[in-house]
Amino acid sequence: DPEIDVFGQEDSPSMKSRRRQCLHSQLCICSSGPLSELVIYLVVKTTNWNPFIISTTACVCRWFADLAKRVLWKEFCLSRGPKMVSDLAAGGQHGTVDGGWDSLGKLMFYCAGCHGVMASPSKPLPGHFVWKTRFSKTSGKSFLVPQCRSDILYLTDPCEHLDENGEDDVGLFRGVLKSFRISKTRKMLIERGVYPEQNKTCPFCLHKGWNMLKANMIPKSASRRVGAYEDEVEYFICLNGHLHGKCSLLHLSDSEGGSEQE
């Protein structure tokens, strides 16, 4: 089967041919005996790389978590967004992606909610799984200042939430900027003397992130793109290029009025 041939080679850097004991505990489901990574790979493949199965099993078994980090999350990402993932991997080292496959996998199916400094003054919004996600390079360009639009940013549509009073719509979005470490966006942040926020970490890889609103690097095209009020868009970006942010979405009546004026 050509789809699994890469794992059939003994010198494969991802799949380890030797059988390994579970590293977790006596209570782990793997404690009954050694397991073959290829067997687990094939079992998870039959689930179409179900992210819920991968993430929950990785929480209770270190052996499985190690396999998931090296192999399974990569397969999940490639199966869900092959063109985007191949593009991101082309800009990474040794065919991988910045931050690791597990972080990218989480970004693809998990809305991280709104917490900490980004939640003020509203009530924090909990994170949740997302069944379907669309990433767009066109939307991403709208979130970059003109000097940085040669950078490639994949961005989701806003995930709509109600704030604490149940009236205002809050849009939460996430994305990933290709090769952030050598991007024009990072170069501009450095030139402007902007430092990462010390009290804010990326919800996907836990690295420190830059507040793009404080850096004055969010163009007005961002609010128009997502249908938000002007100056009500905020987002952070970490060293691995993971982006997450929020916006105050226009009410239906406001957006309709804007369309008529145009």
DSSP assignment of 66-88 equals HHIIIIIHHHHHHHH-HHHHHHH
- 229-242 residue pLDDT tens: 877 899 999 999 99
Packed helices 101-109 and 73-80: angle between N→C axes, nearest 10 degrees: 50
* 196: Cβ contacts below 8 Å, ≥ 6 apart: 208, 209, 210, 238, 239
Strand, coil or helix: 37: helix
Q: Which of 75-84, 112-121, 223-232 has the lowest mean pLDDT?
A: 112-121
Specify the pLDDT at position 86. 92
16 burial level (CB within 10 Å; 0-12, 13-18, 19+): middle
Specify the pLDDT at position 251. 72
Residue 105 has which token pair? 């996998």
- Distance, in Å, from the CA atom of 123 to the CA atom of 220, rounded to the nearest integer, reads 26
- Residue 10 pLDDT > 50, yes or no? no
- 13-58 residue pLDDT tens: 455 544 444 555 555 555 555 568 888 999 999 999 999 999 999 9
- In terms of Cα–Cα distance, which of 204, 233, 201, 207 is closest to 220? 233
Q: b vs e for 73-90, b when ≥16 Cβ sit within 10 Å of the residue's Cβ?
A: bbbbbbebbeebbeebbe
Q: From start to end of the chain, where are the E strands?
A: 110-111, 128-129, 135-136, 153-156, 159-162, 169-177, 197-201, 208-211, 228-238, 242-249
Mean pLDDT of 152-164: 87
Highest-confidence segment of 6-10, 93-97, 257-261: 93-97
- The runs of H, that is alpha helices, within 227-262 are 252-261
- 173-196 residue pLDDT tens: 999 999 999 999 999 999 999 999
Specify the pLDDT at position 101. 95
For 92, the enclosing helix (H) or strand (E) is none
Specify the pLDDT at position 102. 95
- 29-40 residue pLDDT tens: 555 555 688 889
Residue 94 has which token pair? 């040794």
Strand, coil or helix: 45: helix
